Chains A and B, each alone.
Chain A
Amino acid sequence: MREQILQILSTEGRAPAEDIAERLGLAPGQVAEAIADMERDGTILGYRALVDWSAADIERVFAFILVEGTPEHGVGFDRLAQHIARFDEVHSLHLTSGSADLTVVVEGTDFRDIARFVAEKLAPSPGVSGTATSFVLKTYKLDGKLLGEPAAVRRLAVSP
């Protein structure tokens, strides 16, 4: 049940509990309670509008920063990651396999803003041994949504 509810909410954040309940053939109270539980226990972290900033003509720049760090005894990269994560500029942060240790998504108002953050805050953080920055130039798909979606498929209005 939780998985089905999350499946819906993760793509339709504003779907009311009664609507979800009807679609899944569950009792509305049951669904409302499950949602409340998941909000309380941190399974559901929040609800956000998924925004195409370029369509809104509002300047927002994103960058992927691959961070090489020095793992620490007993905690690995946890301490470093938690330190970096607390910066407001950090949109997302993941421990990843491959050439980097941490992958950081940074959000800023323009390229210089991000470059300044990397140089002055991120790279000098104790435990960071190197960074590699890639700026997002254009977004084609965001969180499962194609941007600039082509017109819906035109079916015949009536068919047997």
Chain B
Amino acid sequence: MSIQQRTGSRLSRLAAHLRPSGIREFFDLVVGMDEVISLGVGEPDFPTPWRICDAVIQSLREGATSYTPNRGMVELRIEIARYLEDRYGVSYDPHEQILVTVGVSEAVDLAMRCLLDPGDEVLVPDPCYVSYAPCVELAYGVPVTVRTRLEDQFRLMPAPMAAACTQRTRALLFGNPSNPTGAVMRREHLAELARVAIEHDLLVVADEIYAELTYDGHHVCLAALPGMYERTLLLNGFSKADAMTGWRIGYACGPAEIIEAMTKMHAYTTMCVPIMAQIAAIEALRNGEADRARMIGEYDQRRRIIVNGLNRIGLECFEPMGAFYAFPSIAATGLTSAQFAKALLLDQRVAVVPGIAFGAAGEGHVRCSYASSIADLRAALARMETFLGRLRAGEVEVPQ
């Protein structure tokens, strides 16, 4: 009897059991509809700044289409090191401690596969980005959620983090600033996490892709804190701050031993990040500051509009200080987040992502992205206000 006959499936158990993300399901609903204002978008509405595209077009004319070193072009790694040093005061050796990856997505995947033995546990916040727990599972690890609360502005707190640690806990994987909540952990908050990480000898994988999108204050890299440099993998990239989501490029920085291991794996599975994306990234680092500042200034304005607007129409929303998401509470409506999102979509053609898609602690909330024009945000808020009125009046058909 073959394995196929014994297990009844061509697929591995892992593949067969991997759940599609809750976002995927909602996406299918939205895609068929016209005239939807979507606040469910996790990427900038700006195209990549033209100077970056222009640099890549020029490089194509010059025939830059080959493989690069596995770790990434040395010019890019040098620029990354310089940027991190100048902007955040963290120093990494571009030759030993930086790996250019296919987005932060690939960096998370590689990190998990390099750090975990089967059954090892990884702490992840709840709610958190949809890929964290699945990436832990894909590495045969066990994700252990640590609940975050509205009362703490959805910051990861040291007490529940410590309580979740066991003999098998290897690492913490978290995002700062956070998708979906927009929560930002400042130096004092990170210092408390650091204490727990050091005490339990954890490695921390810090997804800082939204670092530049920090409002009212400067982002602090976890790796900059005392005792954390040697136990932190700093992940960052270009998707959000430079509007380069489609280019699929990011990077991991950390202890040489870990970066070396990740590079080995990356060399086998990916070879290298596309050269065009790397050239784009070099241009972004060398000349992208003004464009970044312009876009982030826009996001900040939109942030104020959406947070004021949500509070004004009765969806209580704490002020998010990072990323481009608001995470209002829909508890007052008595609906689940999935019901709310579906009903709002069908009744008023506004798409928001149900909080449950990001974890059990996301229930009672929805994620509203403000990476859209001010006109769209105002129109969406008006429609949401109409929806809430109709809901209160019993005029909305609530889905199961």
Q: Interface of A with B (CB < 8 Å)?
A: 22-25, 153, 155-160
Contact = CB atoms under 8 A, between A and B. Distances in A.
B37 to A, nearest CB: 10
B27 interface: yes
B305 A158 contact: no
Contact of A159 (B36, B42, B304, B305): B42
Contact of A22 (B30, B45, B179, B305): B305
Nearest to B369: A159
Nearest to A155: B41
A70 B45 CA distance: 51
A27 to B, nearest CB: 13
A158 B301 contact: no
A158 B26 contact: yes
A159 B301 contact: no
B30 A158 contact: yes
Nearest to A26: B304
A160 B374 contact: no
A156 B308 contact: no
B145 interface: no
B355 to A, nearest CB: 13
B45 A155 contact: yes
5 contacts: A23-B301, A23-B302, A153-B45, A157-B30, A159-B40
Contacts of B129: 160
A158 B47 contact: no
> Which among A23, A25, A158 has the greatest number of chain B C-beta atoms within 10 A?
A158
Contacts of A157: 27, 30-31, 36, 38, 40-41, 351
Nearest to A153: B47
B308 A158 contact: no
Contact of A23 (B45, B305, B351): B305
Contact of B131 (A22, A156, A160): A160
Given A157-B30, A158-B351, A160-B131, A22 B41 contact: no
A23 B374 CA distance: 9
B374 A158 contact: no
Given A158-B26, A160-B131, A23 B304 contact: yes
Interface in B1-42: 21, 23, 26-27, 30-31, 36, 38, 40-42
A127 B43 CA distance: 58
Contacts of B41: 155-159
A24 B21 CA distance: 36
Contacts of A155: 41, 43, 45
Nearest first, the 8 A-B pairs at minimum CB distance are A23-B301, A158-B40, A158-B27, A159-B42, A157-B30, A157-B38, A160-B130, A160-B23
Contacts of B374: 23
A50 B374 CA distance: 20
B90 interface: no
A140 B301 CA distance: 29
B353 interface: yes
Contacts of B38: 157-158
Interface in B127-181: 129-131, 179
A159 B30 CA distance: 11
Nearest to A159: B42
Contacts of B130: 160
B153 to A, nearest CB: 18
Interface string B293-314: 0000000011011001000000
> Which among B301, B351, B374 has the greatest number of chain A C-beta atoms within 10 A?
B301
Nearest to B374: A23
A24 B301 CA distance: 6
Contacts of B131: 160
B27 A156 contact: yes
Nearest to B309: A22
Contacts of A160: 21, 23, 42, 129-131, 179
B276 to A, nearest CB: 18
Contacts of A153: 45, 47
> Which among A23, A24, A156, A160 has the greatest number of chain B C-beta atoms within 10 A?
A160
Nearest to B129: A160
Nearest to B130: A160
B377 to A, nearest CB: 10
